[in-house]
Chains A and B, each alone.
Chain A
Amino acid sequence: MSNCSCVPFKGTKEQQKKLEAAIEKYKDQSGALMPVMQAAQDIYGYLPIEVQKMIASGLNVPLEQVYGISTFYAQFSLSPKGKYAISVCLGTACYVKGSGKIFERLKTVLGIDDGGCTPDGKFSLESCRCIGACGLAPVLTVNEEVYGRLTVDDVDKIIEKYKALD
């Protein structure tokens, strides 16, 4: 998981209102932190420092506690999803067919780590487990689009294609 997001925070007033409502709903219960963090993940799609500070202040818990939990559970993300969210299958079939190398190539080309997002917010990258397309191994998805039987050279072409789009 990437530890920092270089994407500027663009939270809206409405999102903040929703988060404040979630905090209000849970704040007097014990164990309020998890449901509030889950709500925040739903509202913002990720948990940047600005959001974690709102949670820490709202629930009167240490920021480090929020951060510790956000990095412990895979369900929380510190980076936003990009406009084009790339998922590379590292399941067994794809992996033996070389998806590890494809994933590495993507990291180099995009300059981000697993779970990261490019500073312009265009691409995010994550590894995933079997998506049930083993016949096409190795596969990756860009949003809903599936790309199969890939070689490392295909990676650059796919990225170029989306870069050319808006």
Chain B
Amino acid sequence: MKTKFQIKDFSFYFNEEKVLKNINFEIEANSILGIIGPAGSGKTTFLRSLNRMNDLESGYRIEGNILLDGIDIYKPEYDVVELRKKVGMVFAMPVPLPMSIYENVVYGPRLSGVQDKKRLDELVEKSLSSAYLWEEVKDRLHTSGMRLSGGQQQRLCLARVLAMEPEAILLDEPSSGLDPISTAKIEDALTVLKKSYTIILVTNNTKQAARVADNTAFFLMGELIELGTTSQIFTSPVKTQTDDYITGRFG
């Protein structure tokens, strides 16, 4: 198994409050890691540390390292823009940019300098198909992305990330606002996509982690309590907190 991310004694402080506490683990390439845990457990902060989206906030400080393919992404000379091209992100709320479906998908590739119309068209079809959205929108690619339904918008956001041809995809509760059918489509897409991408899925829905994740990590109060294969975590968790959480005794 190839390792994609190595998290080494990583701590995150926000206004001197320790939000993530000495996290240590490795994330396998070409697999889906589910991250579960109650609200405020640091799941999202951790996810946003992997592509340095936390940089946009002020008042934070980190300790330790995160390595992507063996290279520390927090070293001063590391190019954040390149990092975000390699590590794409889908947010909890679908946010299509106020432009057409087509323009939304080619936003990333255009930034990287892809201008060839044919190449862009290919990327649009390929990404929208992988996000299970192509059939629904192929006849109206040039209408506004904001006119799609919530579930379609979220798949558009996924397609937009895929079009950048990243190496890893971070998903922050991607189906929290979606109906079961849209959720199922996104989950189907993810299980296919893991063959080519490393996927990290933060979810409040433990069943979703059980359905799609290969490995599952349980976060609580900023600590990584337990990490294991999904079947092990859900059938024979080692820690009592994990057991309590997945059986619904708290959180």
Do A and B make up one complex?
no
Please list the residues of chain B having a beta carbon within 8 angstroms of any beta carbon in chain A.
none
